[in-house]
Chains A and B, each alone.
Chain A
């Protein structure tokens, strides 16, 4: 099986000259679950936006064995499901169903398949009954689930989640954790929720100031008070 994600010496500066990534390298095997942690402004979201070519910095990014380039962005985007932190950014259509169908529809699939995939994705996140609803009237937890469904419907093999549990109440958070636990995909999730990391992610990558400063087993890092404190992390 090809390596899911391979990033080599990635550098990126925002157009205003402000640097965000300074030589990031990362390798994720197929089926792995990796948590990306670190303080705000460490470059976690910027790195995630590189994994499907929304941002393109200097360095090599390979996804499922393919080097990212302008020729294959379509395929890469069907492989990498990027879920944004704010579900209001992810859910932009008038109804839930249209949002879940957006990905497959714009992949150019036949309408029957679009419908089938959308229904399957809504079912996978336990939101079958929400198709005709208007996203504005849903709770944050419901919106987060549907945001995940919008990339499941694209049959993404690699899920890249930006803060999947941020802003959720304990019950909604538990729901998302259970949902993620049952998914077979390769997952890379950025988060500040170290309990979530302990439960779901055997491997932890710590970023700080645009660099990967530690990459290894979660159990070891969570026991290393000095390391956690050095990068503004805190075990509750």
Chain B
């Protein structure tokens, strides 16, 4: 089979975290990220608590405490957007490189942003690794995200694979016809040629995606779709879900309090 297995993050499991209702996990992760980003700079104690929470949750998933930790470093390059802070925030000088002065205040703010984004990414990773994507979509719908938005994400998830498979076939077709002419000559033509071929492929894929979208719409219409996306039943939250949610919110509220007061 011609398949690209695009990062389907979900890892099967039956831990307590896996079994939580997707709505609870979504709301919990979003609240965590909101609290983490709202905390003031230099609230080290609160950061420590949040970090401990990510470790505990990761351990509960059965994937291992280091699981999310290892994968969370993908977020670091994005924190580089804040790299200018130590130089631009006025304050007590910490070090000097030629005309550039590093301030203590700026460094604290930079480190805080780094830690907060890193913590947020860890929580998001734990959520996506313990919730199957269809459940996640269902959770988003159940939490009253606009149906059109969720439908877009849902179609993207479904057809990203199909489109990637098509792209893979095109690439293979190009590679198969990129023979080397004489010995010593490079296979596949000049950079310009390859650029042209790649441009053609992108256009080709766009057209195919466009045509496919029309066929999908026809197939939806054929099954009674009239513009309104309907949803299957919403199960009731269990006691365990409520306990987890209430406990989590309480913990986050206390952490926020500690961060702002101390």
Q: Determine whether A26 belongs to the interface, using a CB cutoff of 8 Å to chain B.
A: no
Given contacts A92-B220, A93-B154, A135-B158, contact A105 B232 (CB under 8 A): yes
B219 x A84 contact (CB < 8 A): yes
Of A60-68, A95-103, A206-214, the one touching chain B: A95-103
- A106 close to B158 (CB less than 8 A): no
* B1 contacts across to A, CB distance below 8 A: 139
Report how many residues on chain A are interfacial, defined by Cβ distance under 8 Å.
Answer: 35
B134/A102 in contact, CB under 8 A: no
Q: How far is the CA of A63 from the CA of B215 in the complex (A)?
A: 22
Contacts of B161 in A (CB 8 A): 136
Q: Does B182 contact A (CB under 8 A)?
A: no
Docked pose: A80 CA to B222 CA in angstroms: 8
User: How far, in Å, is A176 (CB) from chain B's closest CB?
Assistant: 18
Determine if B215 and A93 form an interchain contact, defined as CB atoms under 8 angstroms apart: no
Smallest beta-carbon distance A41→chain B, Å: 16
Taken residue by residue from 222 to 245, chain B's Cβ proximity to chain A (1 for < 8 Å, 0 otherwise) reads as 111110101111000000000000
CB-based contact A106/B215 at 8 Å: no
Q: Which residues of A lie under 8 Å from residue B225 when comparing CB positions? A: 102, 106
Q: At the interface, yes or no: B157 with Cβ under 8 Å from chain A?
A: yes
Is A151 within 8 A of B232, CB to CB? no
Contact indicator per residue, chain A 87-120, by CB within 8 Å of chain B (1) or not (0): 0111011110010011101110001001100000
A74 CB contact (under 8 Å) in B155, B218, B224, B230 = B224
If A89-B215, A89-B216 touch, does A95 touch B134 (CB 8 Å cutoff)?
Answer: yes
The reply to whether the CB of B90 lies closer than 8 angstroms to some CB of chain A is: no
Whether B134 and A154, one on each chain, are in contact in the complex, defined by CB atoms closer than 8 angstroms, is: no
Q: Given the complex of chains A and B, what is the CA–CA distance between A111 and B232 in angstroms?
A: 7
Please give, as numbers and ranges, the residues of chain B lying within 8 Å of A101 by CB-CB distance: 232
| Cβ contacts under 8 Å, B137 to chain A | 94
A107 with B158: in contact, given A84-B215, A89-B215 (CB under 8 Å)? no
- Proximity string of chain B (139-170) to chain A, C-beta cutoff 8 Å, 1 when within and 0 when not: 00000000000000011011101100000000
Closest residue of chain A to B136, judged by CB?
Answer: A94
* Count of B interface residues, CB-CB < 8 Å: 29
Q: How many A-B residue pairs have CB under 8 A?
A: 79
Q: Are B154 and A102 in contact (CB under 8 A)?
A: no
Closest chain A residue to B161 by CB distance? A136
Chain B residue nearest to A52 (CB atoms) is: B222
Residue from the set A82, A92, A102, A103 with the largest chain B CB neighbour count within 10 Å = A92
Chain B positions within 8 Å of A78 at CB level: 224
A111: B residues at CB distance < 8 A: 232-233
B221 and A54 form a contact (CB under 8 A): yes
0/1 string, A43-66, CB within 8 A of B gives 1: 000000100101000000000000
| Chain B residues within CB distance 8 Å of chain A | 1, 8, 133-134, 137, 154-155, 157-159, 161-162, 212, 215-216, 218-226, 228, 230-233
What are 22 A-B pairs with beta-carbon distances under 8 A? Answer: A77-B224, A80-B222, A82-B219, A86-B215, A89-B215, A89-B216, A90-B219, A92-B219, A93-B154, A94-B134, A94-B137, A94-B154, A101-B232, A102-B220, A102-B223, A105-B230, A111-B233, A114-B232, A115-B232, A135-B158, A136-B162, A139-B1
Known: A94-B158, A111-B232, A154-B223. 10 other contacts (CB 8 A): A77-B223, A80-B222, A84-B218, A92-B219, A94-B133, A103-B223, A105-B232, A106-B226, A134-B8, A154-B224
